[in-house]
């Protein structure tokens, strides 16, 4: 295993059982994701992008093979161990933001910190720092349901980075946004990758979005078809 590898997938298989049929999405998928990478995953609908991202994020488990993270196997962890693993290591950014509409921006950002041992004042400071980073310091007390899509996604980014995870996973983070807002969000992800050393894996349909990444892999029928290195 190379020094830089954060993720290593070895002969990963994934299939879903639908009624009497078994649909095989991946069989024998091998890949590594390096520390500090910003990886875009592209591919046609149904090619397994979300399925792959879910396995990397520990919300879904492979049917076979091994997934190593930071030198330890994670695919065979129990559900409660995986839950803790996610809390410690992963920041999630969703296509539809997945904010809690009954909480204000600051309380939304604070959620992952409730899983840590931080005191109230430490949490407050981290929330303020995260909101400042996404340029929403003045909106801390606003309800997220009253915000624009771009603002909501920025709150979601603040939530994803507030507990300082090693890895950020995004599934179509700009899929619901217009071009200019999408560019803002992507620049922000790029900044997190370049200046804050976050490893980012982003699923997208949009070649313009993928151009912000360091590399892009194309997925089709459960295989990587080719890989581009951009930066």
Partner 1 sequence: MTSLFAQIGTVAMMNIRSLPRRLWMSLAMVLASAVVVAILLAFLAMAKGFESTMNSAGSDRVAVMMREGSAAEINSVITREQVNLIEESPGIARDTEGAPLVSPELYVIVDGLKKSSATKANIPLRGINTTGMAMRGNMQLVEGRMFTAGTNELIVGTGVLREFDGFALGEEVRFGKNVWTVVGVFTTGGNVFESELWADVKVIQSHYDRGSSYQTIRAQLETPGDISGLEKTIELEPRLNLEVQTESAYFAAQGKQLEYMAIFGRVISAIMALGALAGALNTMYTSVADRAKEIATLRTLGFSNLSAFCGTMIEALVLSAAGGLLGSAAAFLFFDGLSASTLGGSFTQVVFSFEMSPDLFAQGAQLALLIGFTSGFFPAWRAARLPVIVAFRAAT
Ligand X SMILES: Nc1ncnc2c1ncn2[C@@H]1O[C@H](COP(=O)(O)OP(=O)(O)OP(=O)(O)O)[C@@H](O)[C@H]1O
208 binding partner (options partner 1, ligand X, Mg ion, none; Cβ < 5 to 8 Å by kind): none
Site for partner 1 in 154-213 (CB under 8 A): 159, 171
| Stretch of 40-48, 85-93, 103-111, 149-157 lying at the interface with ligand X (CB under 6 A) | 40-48
DSSP 177-204: S-HHHHHHHHHHHHHHHHHH--EEEEE-
Residues shown for the chain: 231
Binding mask 10-39 for ligand X (x = CB under 6 A): ------x-x----x-x--------------
Beta-strand relationship, 167-171 and 215-220: unpaired
Q: Is residue 145 classed as helix, strand or coil in its secondary structure? A: helix
199: contact with ligand X by CB under 6 A:
no
What minimum distance in Å lies between the beta carbon of 21 and ligand X? 10
What minimum distance in Å lies between the beta carbon of 230 and partner 1? 26
| Residue number with CB closer to ligand X (6 or 25) | 25
In the list 15, 32, 50, 95, the residue contacting Mg ion (rule: CB under 5 A) is 50
| Residues forming a β-bridge with 41 | 203, 217
- Which burial class, exposed, middle or buried, applies to 144 when counting CB atoms under 10 A from its CB (0-12, 13-18, 19+)? buried
């Amino acid at each position: 295993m190379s020094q830089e590898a954060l993720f290593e997938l070895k002969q990963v298989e994934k299939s879903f059982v639908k009624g009497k049929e078994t649909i095989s999405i991946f069989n024998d998928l091998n890949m590594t994701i390096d520390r500090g990478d910003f990886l875009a995953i592209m591919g046609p609908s149904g090619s397994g992008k979300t399925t792959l991202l879910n396995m990397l994020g520990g919300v879904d488990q492979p049917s076979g093979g091994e997934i190593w993270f930071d030198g330890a196997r994670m695919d065979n962890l129990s559900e409660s161990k995986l839950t803790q693993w996610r809390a410690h290591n992963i920041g999630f950014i969703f296509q539809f933001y997945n904010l809690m509409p009954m909480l204000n921006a600051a309380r939304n950002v604070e959620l992952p910190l409730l899983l840590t041992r931080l005191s109230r004042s430490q949490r407050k400071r981290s929330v303020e720092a995260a909101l400042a980073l996404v340029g929403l310091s003045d909106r801390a007390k606003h309800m997220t349901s009253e915000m624009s899509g771009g603002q909501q996604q920025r709150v979601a980014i603040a939530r994803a980075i507030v507990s300082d995870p090693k890895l950020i996973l995004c599934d179509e983070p700009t899929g619901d946004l217009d071009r200019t807002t999408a560019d803002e969000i992507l620049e922000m992800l790029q900044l997190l990758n370049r200046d804050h050393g976050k490893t980012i894996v982003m699923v997208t349909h949009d070649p313009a979005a993928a151009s912000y990444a360091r590399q892009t892999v194309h997925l089709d029928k459960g295989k990587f078809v080719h890989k581009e290195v951009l930066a």
